[in-house]
Chain A
């Protein structure tokens, strides 16, 4: 158990819908990262937050957004969903000084 929690574990929805994925980092970790794992794109970095502020952006679509709240949990919002958004979405956390990240179990999103 990495100490990073993600909910829900599974999510099935329809095209055009909007969903929210939630992540709680390890106790004391200020950085949260979101990654997408899909069969065709592999593991890709989406976005990073540090202590409530956006720190870095990767290959995140404009239809996707995220935020980190004062209690440090983070949410990833995916809107106008398309079939191609079906993937595993991982959250990871780290301290400021550590360079390794600890991953949650992921949320499997299926868009029908």
Chain B
């Protein structure tokens, strides 16, 4: 079946540091890949997505590239801010347009200190 593996957290960084959160996946075919973010006490917000190999998703300074050869979709940001403190979830959805239930990783908590 499909699965997503994320690096364990929490990740603690100082403001303006470089961020990488690793994500690898197992799936048949060519799934779509997503990063969602959950701020304290809130629901999940889509951060970025990629739908095919070598696609780069980007939003709010965050980036992730769909690497089919390494089955990875690592999240990066060049300079984090305190406001980026949240839990980040990597997820995939299968290519079947009728059944796009998301499979999530376990989430990585990011804490950014001023």
Contact = CB atoms under 8 A, between A and B. Distances in A.
Interface of A: 2, 31, 33, 35, 42-45, 48, 50, 55-56, 58, 90, 92, 94, 96-97, 99-106
Which 7 pairs between the two chains have the least Cβ-Cβ distance? A43-B104, A45-B101, A103-B44, A56-B99, A105-B43, A103-B43, A99-B32
22 contacts: A2-B43, A2-B45, A33-B101, A42-B104, A42-B105, A42-B106, A43-B102, A43-B104, A44-B104, A45-B103, A48-B101, A55-B99, A58-B101, A92-B44, A92-B102, A96-B98, A97-B97, A99-B32, A100-B49, A101-B46, A103-B44, A104-B43
B65 interface: no
Contacts, number: 58
Interface of B: 32, 34, 36, 42-46, 49, 51, 89, 93, 97-107
A106 B104 CA distance: 16
B29 to A, nearest CB: 13
A101 B91 CA distance: 11
Contacts of B44: 90, 92, 103
B97 to A, nearest CB: 7
A42 B89 CA distance: 10
Contacts of A43: 89, 102, 104, 107
B104 A99 contact: no
A13 to B, nearest CB: 21
A102 B46 contact: yes
Nearest to B100: A99
